Structure 1
Amino acid sequence: MQRRIEKPYEEIRNCILENIPSGIGITRIEYEGPRIAIYTKKPEVLLGQSYVVADIAGMIKKRIVVRADPSVRLPEEEAERKIKEIIPKDAGISAIFFDPATGEVTIEVKKPGLALGKEGSNVQEIIKATRWSPKIVKASPIPSKTITQIIHYVCSMSRERERIMREVGEAVFRTPVVETKNVRVTFLGGSMEVGRSAILVQTDESSVLLDCGVNPASTNPRDGFPRLNVPEFDLDRLDAVVITHAHLDHSGFLPFLYKYGYDGPVYCSMPTLSLMTLLQLDYLQVLESEGRVTPYSKADIRDAVLHAITLRFNEVTDIAPDIRLTLHNAGHILGSSIVHLHIGRGLHNIVYTGDFKFGYTRLLRPAASTFPRVETLIMESTYGAPEDVMPPRKSVEEEFARVVNQTLKDGGKVLIPVPAVGRAQEIMVVLDEYMRRGEIAEVPVYVEGMIEEANGIH
C-alpha cells in the first residue's frame, strides 16, 4: 500500500477540532481503517450529542467512530462485573469479549431486546459506567467454534490490529498523485471457466483485487490458482482485496497473498469472514489428507482474519483515495455480496456480481438489482444459457420428497452429498418443513460436523 498522508490528516483533524464542543476531552484523532476514530475522556457526552458527529462526518465526507480513551476505561474484569449488573439476568448473557484496540465490548445474549433496554438505556448506562462501547449481539443456539476463535484471536492481537487499521487509514486517505482518468480491468481467473475467480481493477492511483479463489478440482497449480504472475499484478501496490462470498472458488487463495507479504485489508461481509475461514481451514485439511502441497498455512489464514474489515450491506466505504465500495445482497449464500465500485469523482462505476441468485430461497432474499449508477457490469453466468431453464422449485422439492420416502420405505438409507455452506442449510430447511407437514417420514437426520459448524455461523 502506498502512503502520502500529511495534508489530508491535518485537514481532517482541524475540521474536527473546530467543530467539536469544548469540554469533551479529546485526546487523539486517528485513522481506524476506512474510518476516523475520535478518542475522548467523555464518550458518553459526545454520543449523547450524536448530531455533532453526524454533522462533522458530513463536512469531511468520512465515517466517524467515537472511542473512549484507554486511560478512562475500567479494567476488563471490573467492566465485566458492571455489565452483568446492568444487563438483566433474564437477557441471558452467554459470553463477553473485550477488544482493547477499539474499546469495544461484544456481549452475546439470548434476548438482545431485553439487554438493550428501553430506547437503548442499558447501552448508555454501560458506556457511562465502564467507558467501553458495547455491541450487543444475539447468541447462536448452536455455538460456533469458528466465530469464537476469530473473536479471541483478534482481541489477543489488539496491538497488531491497531497498527494494521492505522496504516490502512493512512493509505486510504492519502493524497492522490494525479487525478484518476483511467480504469483497467484484468481477469486473473474465473473468465471462461469455473473456479479461481480473481479480477484486478486498476486506476491511475489505486489497485483493488475482487475475489481471490482456487479451482478445488484442479491438481495443476497453473490451472488451479489465479494468474498472479502477470505484469499487471504488483502485490506491493495492492490497496485492497474484496471477497464477494466464502466459497473456495472466490476466497480460497486469499491467505496466499499474506504468505507472500501483502499487509493490506480484505473487505467482506461479517458472515463471509467466518464462513471463508471455516472453508479455508477445511481446504488445507483435505489437501494434507491427499498428500498434496498446501499453498499456505493456518498462520496465513489467521493473518487474513487479522486484516479483515467487515461491512454491512449498502454501507459506502472508502477503500482507496479514488475508490468507494458498497456491498449489496447477492442472494447466493449467507453473506454473499454484489460489489459496487464508485471510481473517481463520478468517473466510472463497476458492478461485479460474484455468484448471485435472483429468486427467493427458503433462507435468503433475491439479489439486489438496483444501483445508483453502473457503466460496467461484470456478471457470473452459471446456468445463464438460453437452454438452462430450471424446473419449478416446488416440483423439484416434491420429487426429492418422493425419492426420500421411497428409499425409506424400501429399507434404505438416504445419503445427501451437498456443499457444507449454502445448499446444506437449504436442504435441512426443506427436510424440516416436509417432515412437519407429514410429507416425509419422520426419521433421524444426521449432520456432518462441518455442516453443523456452518449452521452455527448461520
Structure 2
Amino acid sequence: MSAVERQLDDLQAEIEEEVPADITISDVTYEGPELVVYTRDPKEFASDGDLVRRLASKLRKRITVRPDPDVLSHPREAEEQVRDIIPEEAGVTDLDFHADTGEVVIEAQKPGMVIGRHGSTLREITRAVGWTPEVVRTPPIESSTVSNVRNFLKQERDERRDILERIGRQIHREEMSDDEWVRITTLGCCREVGRASFIVSTPETRILVDCGDKPGAEGEVPYLQVPEALGAGANTIDAVVLTHAHLDHSALIPLLFKYGYDGPIYCTEPTRDLMGLLTLDYLDVAAKEGRNPPYGSEMVREAIKHCIPIEYGDVTDIAPDVKLTMHNAGHILGSAVSHFHIGDGLYNVAFSGDIHYDDTRLFNGAVNEFPRVETLVMESTYGGRNDYQTDQEDSERKLKEVINETYERDGKVVIPAFAVGRSQEIMLVLEEAMRKGDIPEMPVHLDGMIWEATAIHTTYPEYLRDDLRDRIFHEDANPFLAEQFNHIDGGEEERQDVADGDPCIVLSTSGMVTGGPIMSWLRHFGPDPNNRMVFVGYQAQGTLGRRIQNGWDEVPMSGDRGSRSGTLTLEMDVKTVDGFSGHADRQGLENFVRTMNPRPEKVLCVHGDESSVQDFSSALYHEFNMRTFAPKNLETFRFK
C-alpha cells in the first residue's frame, strides 16, 4: 500500500470518528488540493451545517462532500424540487446533473440567492434531493469565452477528474528529503518588462511562477531551457502558478504542454478564462502577421483543462511542502499577489505579480497583509525616481478636457488600450462623464477583444471593487451596458463608416500599438490633424507605442501576412494621460512595502527597465534598511 493510500485510510477513519453514527462514509480520495468525501447519506450530512467546516478545521484540508451515485434521486424529479427551493428572483438559467460525481451545476443570474445565507439554500437542496449543488453565474453580457470554457470543461469532465486525482496524489505524497532550503531562479523580466518567469525550488518541489512573452520583442522568451526549469524535463516541474492573464505573464503557459508538462496551473477563475481569450488571440495575431505561432490552439485547451482555480484568501496545498494563498493585486481582473508558505514554518515568499496599491474604479487596492513574508519578489514597472503618476481625479479631468477639445474641432479620439483592465477602467470614466454631462454624449466604439473582455468582467463581479460589484448585481445600473458602447464587429467596413461619421471615441487593442485593430485606426484617423491619439497605459521599450509617444510621426505599416506596405505620416495630435495604468507608481510601490507588517527581510526588484529596478532597489534599501536586489536574468538566490 502506498503512503497516499495509507494517508487516505487514516483520514477516512478520522472522519468516521467525527461524523454521527447514522452517516456512512463510503470512500475518501484526493482531487487536486481537495479531499473528496463520498457518503451514502448526503441528506444527513447536509442537516448539520457545521459538520464540513468542523472536519476541514480538524483535518486542515479543503473538503468536498459528494453522494454515492446509487443513492441519488432521478434528475427529472430532482430538478423540480431544486427549482421549487430556489427563489424565482435568482434567475436560474440552467441545471446540469452529473451522476458520476453526484453534482448538479446551477447557473443563475444571481448566484447569491441560490447559495443563501451562509450556504443555507445549498444545504436545503442537498437535504431535499441528495445532489451536491455547485453554483455559477450567468454572464450579464453574453461571453463566448466563458461559455466555451464551461462547455469544454464539461466535455472533459472524466479526463479532468483523472488529472485531478493524479495531481492530488502528487500533492500529498510522502516527503523524501530531510534537507531544508529555498531557492528562486530568475528566468525572465529582470531589468526588463516582459517575459515574466521564475522558478521556486525546494528539496521536494519545483514551481514555475508565470511564463510570459516580451512585448515588441519577437523571440525573446523566458530561459526555460536551463536545468532549473525544463532542461531536466518538463515533468520535473510540480506546479505552475499564474499571477494574472496579461500576455507578458501568461503567453507561453500553453507552450509548457507542448514540451510535455502535464501538471496543474493554479490561478483564479477569471485568470483562467482570460488566459484562454488572450492566448488564442495571441496565436491569431501571429498567424495574421506571418509568424509561426509557438504552439497550437489545442495546447491552450490543455492548459485550461489543467487549471485549478483558487479563490482569494484560500490556503491551498500545492505540494508536500508548499501552501499557496492568492490575494487581490488590484491590477486586472483576477490578478493575484501569490504567497508561498514553504515547509513547516520554514520560509515565506510572496510574488507581487503586477500590482496597483490604491483603489481604482475597477478594483480594490492590492492586499499586502500576510502572516509572514521573509522575501518579496516585487514588480518595479514604475520604480524610477521620477515615475510619479497624477492622481486618478486629475487624470480623469485631463482625459475629459482632451475629449471636449477634440469634439469641439469635430475630431475623433482613439485610445490604444489593453483589452483587459484599462479598457474597462476608461469605459467607467466615459460612462459617468456622459451621464453627468462632463463630456458630450457620443458613440464609444470598442474594437478588438474589449467587448468580450468586458463580458468576462461582468461574469465575475465578486472580483471587482465593492461598489461596482453592487451596481452590476442590479442590471438597470450596470455601467457596462450603457447605450453609448458599441461593439465593432463588422470589421474594416464598419471602421470606415466610423471614420466617415461624426465625432466619437474609439477604444482599441493593442494597447502598445504592436499590431491588431489599432493599426487600422492609425490609417483611418492618423492623417487628420483634428483627431487625437491618447495613451493611457504603459508603453514598453521597443514597442511602436513607445516610439509614437516619444514623437515618431513616420509609422511603418504592414500589409498581408506581415509584409511591409509603406509608411504612414501621422498628422493627428498624440497625448499621454498618466494615472490610468494598472501598475502602482513609485509612491504606490513604496507604500506597498512601507505598510507591510511585518516587512520582508529581502526584496527582489523585477519587472522594470534597468534604471527603474535599480532606482527602486536603492530607494527601498535606504528608506527601510532592508536587503534589496535588482537581479539579472538567470540568477539564483538561496534562502535558508
TM-score, scaled relative to structure 2: 0.68
Q: Paired residue for 2:140?
A: 141
Distance apart, 1:327 and its partner CA:
0.4
**1:240, 1:39 → 2: CA distance?**
27
Distance apart, 1:77 and its partner CA:
5.0
1:396 aligned to 2:403?
no
Q: Summarize the alignment of residues 214-363 of structure 1 with structure 2, pairs less than 5 Å apart.
A: 214-220=213-219, 223=220, 225-233=221-229, 234=232, 235-363=234-362
Q: Paired residue for 1:47?
A: 46
Q: Partner amino acid for 2:159?
A: E
Q: Paired residue for 1:197?
A: 196
Q: Partner amino acid for 2:290?
A: G
| CA deviations over 1:315-360 (Å, ceiling 9, x no partner) | 1000000000000110001110001000001110001100001111
Q: How many residues align?
A: 453
Q: Partner amino acid for 2:82?
A: I
**1:447, 1:432 → 2: CA distance?**
13
Distance apart, 1:145 and its partner CA:
1.2
**2:362, 2:185 → 1: CA distance?**
34
Distance apart, 1:53 and its partner CA:
3.1
**1:58, 1:112 → 2: CA distance?**
26
CA contact (8 A) 1:97 1:151 kept: no
TM-score, scaled relative to structure 1: 0.94
Q: Paired residue for 1:11?
A: 10
Distance apart, 1:421 and its partner CA:
0.2
Distance apart, 1:147 and its partner CA:
1.1
Q: Structure 1 stretches of 5 or more lacking a match?
A: none
User: Is the radius of gyration larger for structure 1 or structure 2?
Assistant: 2
**2:184, 2:77 → 1: CA distance?**
52
After superposition, the Cα gap between the structure-2 partners of 1:15 and 1:119, relative to the gap in structure 1 and judged at 3 Å, is closer
Q: Paired residue for 2:37?
A: 38
| CA deviations over 1:37-96 (Å, ceiling 9, x no partner) | 001122121132243333333333222111112223345555444433433433322233
Distance apart, 1:140 and its partner CA:
2.5
Q: Structure 2 stretches of 5 or more lacking a match?
A: 458-640
**1:232, 1:359 → 2: CA distance?**
36
Q: Secondary structure at the match of 1:64?
A: strand
**2:113, 2:61 → 1: CA distance?**
33
**1:364, 1:406 → 2: CA distance?**
30
Q: Percent same amino acid among aligned pairs? A: 45
Distance apart, 1:228 and its partner CA:
1.1
Q: Summarize the alignment of residues 86-105 of structure 1 with structure 2, pairs less than 5 Å apart.
A: 86-99=85-98, 102-105=101-104
After superposition, the Cα gap between the structure-2 partners of 1:336 and 1:23, relative to the gap in structure 1 and judged at 3 Å, is same
Distance apart, 1:180 and its partner CA:
4.6
What's the RMSD between the two structures over aligned residues? 2.0
CA contact (8 A) 2:315 2:325 kept: yes
CA contact (8 A) 1:239 1:320 kept: yes
CA contact (8 A) 2:323 2:341 kept: yes
Distance apart, 1:447 and its partner CA:
1.5
**1:204, 1:393 → 2: CA distance?**
46
CA contact (8 A) 1:317 1:325 kept: yes
CA contact (8 A) 1:241 1:266 kept: yes
CA contact (8 A) 2:258 2:295 kept: yes
Q: Paired residue for 2:619?
A: none
After superposition, the Cα gap between the structure-2 partners of 1:357 and 1:131, relative to the gap in structure 1 and judged at 3 Å, is same
Q: Secondary structure at the match of 2:277?
A: helix
Quick check: 118-127 or 300-309, which moved more? 118-127
Q: Which has the higher contact order (CA 8 A, sep 6+)?
A: 2
Q: Partner amino acid for 1:286?
A: V
CA contact (8 A) 1:180 1:322 kept: no
